């Protein structure tokens, strides 16, 4: 535990990714094998089941700190993290524990079955005995989610550095269902298997947003246009009769989309496709809201699969018959993709769809097509030069995104909540309201957390602290006074929202210091923006 707590302290002592990778890599070189497996498990969110519910944790922690429960709750709202609050309010100890991380985790797993009195005794014993960082880590292990500013990707990078094994291979090895209690470090990480390599994706080619006038792209005949769909960018790999689905975050998400399993029968070995995973409820492309029900689920229920199936809207082919196609012109790659698509189509209904490629006679026609985007649930257009190779990373020149402008509306700040993590103790999570019909009331329509500079956040934070009307736990209602221009990508009717409207990716565009609350828009005006 001492070593692991020291690692967390080191990660907490730097703001630089490279220094974090170094600290973690050093840990992976020297820690006992079993602890390493647990560290990988914890940092990839494979935590043991929570042995004590948070109500009991709060009650017991406030008891040990000798403060009333309400005072613990207030502190928690301000600190913004339960384990951190517990570590802070319990009187400090300078001793540490010689027990290993693995021993602690075994004890925590066993704790779940113990009677309440034993649980309490175990927590009190450790809370009073451990020093600050150990107490923090211990409490994190008990509360579950171990978010400490170390992503799975950063962890994988460090593990690659410590072992010399390729990062993508490691990402593959670490995916899926493995039990840290049963697997060895050797089996999980070190042992080389030929099968590790068949999952390897290509780096994604990413486009910049178009800055210039569209005409600056030159001859319209040199370009293909496609609609830009709002889903999850993914690479689909079929090699050795096995399927691998990688998201753009370089995360293996194969298990989340079981409907693609059929590709192993339809698509020949040695094929890599680039495309967009899209929701397809009722045989039509849905909204991102629909897809949201699928993201973040490790296992998908049959009911959900039926309600919100997904498709792959393919737009590129990166590997064909085991050969890298990326240096070939896009037009050639498209032709191969279309041939493959025709072939797959013959086997009947399946989740492979083709992204429609469009050609136009002039840029005016392109602009007209773009204006239809919102009604089609697309975000705008992608423009790809016909002779472009498939590059690595975000590059200018051959691919451009030409999104439709976001919708905007002026709304009034009505409620605020303190942020979490790096925004804890600062009011950064805002709720916005629009006027009802007779302008007598502000109706909540969206929450937004981003779009202001740090300096503006501090100003708004001060305003909120000075203009609080009522407090509801962590939430405060504030005097309606500040007007913000809120931008959003999409809009739809919604039964779940009080306003009757759901907006996609609302964020603050700017602070309208020039506007009074009377100048803010109404809910009616928002509803007029809904297409159709």
Residues lying near another protein in the complex (CB under 8 A): 12-16, 19, 65, 67-68, 70-72, 74-75, 78-81, 84-85, 88-89, 91-92, 149, 419-426, 454, 458
Q: Cβ closer to another protein: 342 or 425? A: 425
Rounded CA gap, 151 and 141, in Å? 17
Q: Cβ closer to another protein: 132 or 178? A: 132
Q: Is 12 exposed, middle or buried, given 0-12, 13-18 or 19+ CB atoms closer than 10 A?
A: middle
CA-closest candidate to residue 10, choices 189, 148, 161 = 148
Residue in the block written with tokens 């736990």: 473
Give min distance, CB of 15 to another protein, in A.
5
- Using the 8-state DSSP alphabet, how is residue 348 labeled? -
Give min distance, CB of 170 to another protein, in A.
27
Give min distance, CB of 141 to another protein, in A.
16
Q: Cβ closer to another protein: 64 or 530? A: 64
Rounded CA gap, 232 and 275, in Å? 8
Give min distance, CB of 125 to another protein, in A.
20
Give min distance, CB of 152 to another protein, in A.
18
Q: CA torsion sign, 247 to 249 to 253 to 256? A: negative
Both structure tokens of 199:
């999952």
Give min distance, CB of 448 to another protein, in A.
18
Q: For residue 277, how many other CB atoms are within 10 A of its CB?
A: 26
Give min distance, CB of 433 to another protein, in A.
25
Q: Cβ closer to another protein: 25 or 67? A: 67
Residues of the chain by 3-state class (helix, strand, coil), percent to 5: 40, 25, 35
Q: Cβ closer to another protein: 87 or 381? A: 87
Q: Cβ closer to another protein: 426 or 520? A: 426
CB 267 within 8 A of CB 359: no
Q: What is the DSSP string of 423-451?
A: GBTSEEEEEEEEE-TTSS-EEEEEEE--S
Q: Cβ closer to another protein: 66 or 528? A: 66
């Amino acid at each position: 535990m001492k070593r692991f707590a020291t690692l967390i302290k080191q990660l907490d002592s730097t703001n630089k990714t490279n220094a974090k990778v170094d600290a973690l890599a050093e840990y992976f070189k020297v820690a006992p094998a079993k602890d390493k497996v647990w560290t990988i498990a914890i940092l990839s969110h494979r935590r043991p089941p929570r042995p004590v519910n948070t109500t009991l944790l709060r009650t017991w922690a406030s008891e040990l700190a000798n403060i009333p429960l309400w005072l613990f709750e207030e502190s928690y709202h301000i600190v913004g993290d339960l384990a951190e609050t517990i570590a802070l309010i319990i009187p400090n100890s300078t001793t540490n524990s010689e027990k290993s991380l693995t021993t602690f985790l075994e004890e925590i797993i066993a704790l779940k079955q113990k009677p309440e009195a034993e649980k309490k005794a175990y927590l009190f014993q450790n809370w009073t005995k451990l020093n600050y960082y150990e107490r923090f880590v211990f409490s994190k292990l008990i509360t579950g989610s171990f978010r400490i500013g170390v992503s799975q990707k950063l962890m994988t990078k460090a593990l690659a550095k410590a072992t010399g094994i390729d990062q993508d291979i490691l990402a593959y090895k670490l995916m899926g269902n493995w039990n840290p209690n049963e697997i060895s470090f050797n089996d999980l990480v070190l042992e080389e298997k030929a099968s590790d390599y068949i999952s390897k994706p290509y780096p994604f080619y990413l486009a910049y947003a178009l800055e210039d006038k569209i005409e600056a792209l030159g001859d319209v005949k040199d370009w293909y246009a496609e609609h830009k769909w709002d889903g999850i960018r993914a690479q689909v790999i079929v090699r050795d009769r096995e399927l691998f689905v990688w998201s753009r975050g370089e995360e293996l998400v194969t298990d989340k989309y079981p409907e693609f399993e059929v590709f192993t029968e339809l698509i020949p070995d040695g094929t890599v496709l680039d495309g967009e995973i899209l929701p397809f409820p009722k045989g039509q492309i849905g909204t991102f809201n629909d897809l949201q029900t699928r993201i973040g689920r490790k296992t998908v229920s049959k009911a959900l699969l039926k309600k919100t199936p997904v498709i792959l809207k393919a737009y590129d082919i990166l590997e064909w018959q085991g050969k890298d196609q990326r240096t070939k012109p896009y037009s050639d790659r498209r032709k191969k993709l279309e041939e493959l698509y025709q072939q797959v189509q013959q086997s009947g209904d399946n989740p492979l769809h083709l992204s429609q490629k469009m050609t136009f006679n002039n840029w005016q026609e392109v602009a007209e097509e773009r204006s239809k985007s919102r009604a089609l649930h697309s975000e705008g257009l992608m423009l790809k030069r016909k002779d472009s190779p498939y590059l690595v990373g975000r590059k200018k020149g051959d691919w451009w995104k030409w999104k439709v402008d976001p919708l905007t509306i002026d709304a009034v700040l009505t409620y605020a909540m303190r942020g979490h993590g790096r925004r804890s103790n600062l009011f950064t999570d805002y709720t916005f309201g629009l006027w009802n019909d007779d302008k007598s009331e502000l109706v909540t329509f969206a929450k937004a957390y981003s779009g202001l500079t740090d300096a503006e956040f501090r100003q708004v934070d001060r305003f909120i602290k000075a203009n609080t009307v009522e407090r509801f736990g962590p939430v405060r209602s504030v005097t309606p006074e500040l007007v913000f221009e809120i931008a959003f990508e999409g809009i739809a009717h919604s039964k779940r929202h009080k306003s009757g409207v759901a907006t996609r990716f609302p964020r603050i565009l700017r602070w309208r210091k020039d506007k009074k609350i009377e100048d803010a828009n109404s809910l009616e005006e928002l509803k007029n923006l809904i297409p159709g």
